[in-house]
Amino acid sequence: MSGPPDAAAFQRLYDSTGWAGGVEREPLFYARALAGSWAQCAAYAGEELVGFGRVISDGVLHAFITEMIVLPPWQGQGLGAQLLDRLVQHCLQQGLRDIQLFCAEGKQAFYEKGGFTPRLPGRPGMQYTRCAEASESPVSPASPE
């Protein structure tokens, strides 16, 4: 495990799992995402990025683990568990106790082994789904409308 990846390496790893959904993006997009991280943990095989996870946080109340990605040939070997544990330990060392994440379909058992439990039925997370509508809107985010 080593330092954070550059944007091109992150993009290659991200694309290896199909998370991009076929959407082509420039490396600058990934560089900006990485810059918004509060904490990161990367794993390399030689020069190749084979695993990565990051945390987005306010550093005081809440932490959100995102982009837990392991290159498919490296999955099932404990690498993801090590990445997750390092990210959780970093949050705990900083005094954060509200650590959340979204779980990909079929991955619940992995996260349960790492100490996570599903949110209670009355406390589910929510996701904004009007992205297409918002991107077509002529109103800018700074607009008072």
How far is it, in rounded angstroms, from Cα 18 to Cα 36? 22
**pLDDT given at position 124:** 64
How far is it, in rounded angstroms, from Cα 29 to Cα 114? 30
Q: Where are the domains of the chain?
A: 7-136
**pLDDT given at position 24:** 82
Sheet hosting strand 39-45, strand order edge to edge: 39-45, 48-57, 62-70, 98-101
The identity of residue 108, as a single letter, is Q
Hey, what are 84's tokens? 């997750």
Task: Burial-class residue 81 by CB neighbours within 10 Å (0-12, 13-18, 19+).
Answer: middle
Per-residue pLDDT of the chain (145 residues; tens, 9 = 90+): 667 899 999 999 988 887 777 778 888 999 999 999 999 999 999 999 999 999 999 999 999 999 899 999 999 999 999 999 999 999 999 999 889 988 888 888 999 899 988 877 776 666 556 654 444 444 444 444 4
**pLDDT given at position 143:** 40
Q: What's the CATH code, domain 7-136?
A: 3.40.630.30
**pLDDT given at position 117:** 87
Contact 16, 71 (CB under 8 A): yes
For helices 7-16 and 27-35, angle between their N-to-C axes, nearest 10 degrees? 100
**DSSP assignment, residue 93?**
H
